[in-house]
Amino acid sequence: MVDITNKNTTLRTAVAQAVVKVSKPETIAAIKNDTVPKGNVFAMSKAAGLLGVKRTPDILPDCHPLPIEFTGVEYKINGLEITVLFTVKTIYKTGVEVEAMHGASVVALNMYDMLKPIDKGIEIHNIKLLHKKGGKSDFKDTFRKDITAAVVVCSDTISAGHKEEKAGKAIIKKLEECDVKVLEYVIIPDEKDTIQEKAKSYQKQGLDLVIYTGGTGLSGRDVTPEALLPILDRRIPGIEEAIRNYGQQRMPFSMLSRSVAGTLGDTLVLALPGSTNGAKESMDAIFPAVLHSFRILKGARHD
């Protein structure tokens, strides 16, 4: 199956349809009057759909098992056609489009099975996804496309040439995937004055985003938070919480990181862990959603 461990959990919704076409008005009348010999067609088919949607990953090998947290079934009669509308919701890392289409299919098949003794001309048509919501594609159009950034690696060891730099490069890779233009990439020692000077300089240059990696741990030389906090105009606790929560779900030491997020003027400043995995996971935790902040900083509404 596709690896979804790096995805964020969001509310996912999908609506699918199936159209059951009977061959004579008497069949529709029997459904409405509840005189179909096998029982109440709508109620039993709904039950079949509720059972079927939960078994989707048992039938389709690439579907992830996921919690089905809401299922709705509606019927619309138009002449000899009955449209089944099947809605599925979950709060999870991947969508429920296939589950919704599978549920609609099962409802339609159960209707066919119940109606075939009284109507030999039943057909099933137009099983398809009507719409979905909750994936990253729902939010990408809200982001600005002209965002500029600087990536600053804080490390005595790397700046002295004793260790290869990887965390900053992982950050740049993620930024480029999000269409953020990286104007500068530098490595500096763990010095408070230098860290502060970089942030102030980039803010004066009009950069939208400055990301530091390194110096957020608990050693005596980890001073990135101490350097940045005094100069930030406002902190953004939600970003910091999202980073730590995402990391803690993947390894137990993330709670020891002192990641920082805040604004310096209209520039967003982030301080992320210095390990490659820590930096990468921090970026996965908040990107691309954090890019919405640049519209808000310019006065746009959240909606």
- Does residue 300 carry a pLDDT above 70? no
Q: Is 66 helix (H, G, I), strand (E, B) or coil?
A: coil
Does residue 303 belong to any structural domain of this protein? no
Does residue 138 belong to any structural domain of this protein? no
In the predicted model, what is the mean pLDDT of residues 169-174?
97
Average model confidence (pLDDT) across the chain: 94
- Does residue 79 carry a pLDDT above 90? yes
Same domain flag for 182 and 260: yes
Same domain flag for 162 and 110: no
For residues 180 and 117, give the distance between their C-alpha atoms in angstroms, rounded to a whole number.
Answer: 62
- pLDDT > 70 in the chain, percent: 95
CATH number (domain holding residue 251): 3.40.980.10
Other beta carbons less than 10 A from residue 296's beta carbon: 10
**Of the candidates 29, 175, 158, 53, the residue with the CA atom closest to the CA atom of residue 102:** 53
Same domain flag for 87 and 53: yes
Each residue's pLDDT tens digit, 243-285: 999 999 998 999 999 999 999 999 999 999 999 999 999 999 9
- The reported pTM is 0.77
Same domain flag for 69 and 204: no
Same domain flag for 153 and 284: yes
Same domain flag for 180 and 229: yes
**Residues in contact with 187: Cβ distance below 8 Å, sequence separation at least 6, in sequence order:** 152, 153, 155, 158, 159, 165, 168
In the predicted model, what is the mean pLDDT of residues 186-197?
97
Domain boundary among 106, 133, 160: 133
Tell the burial category of 154 from Cβ atoms under 10 Å away from its Cβ (0-12, 13-18, 19+): buried
What range does the domain containing 69 cover? Answer: 10-133
Does residue 114 belong to any structural domain of this protein? yes
Same domain flag for 79 and 172: no
Q: Is 27 helix (H, G, I), strand (E, B) or coil?
A: helix
CATH number (domain holding residue 67): 3.30.70.640
Hey, CA dihedral for 51, 53, 57, 59, is it positive or negative? positive
Domain boundary among 80, 106, 133: 133
- Does residue 26 carry a pLDDT above 90? yes
Does residue 1 belong to any structural domain of this protein? no
- Does residue 54 carry a pLDDT above 90? yes
Domain boundary among 99, 133, 167: 133
Between helix 167-177 and helix 276-286 the angle, nearest 10°, is: 20
- What total number of domains does the chain contain? 2
Same domain flag for 72 and 208: no
Q: Is 93 helix (H, G, I), strand (E, B) or coil?
A: coil
**DSSP state at residue 232:** -
Cα three-residue angle 111-113-118, rounded to 5 degrees: 90
Q: Is 175 helix (H, G, I), strand (E, B) or coil?
A: helix
Which positions are annotated as active-site residues? Answer: 113
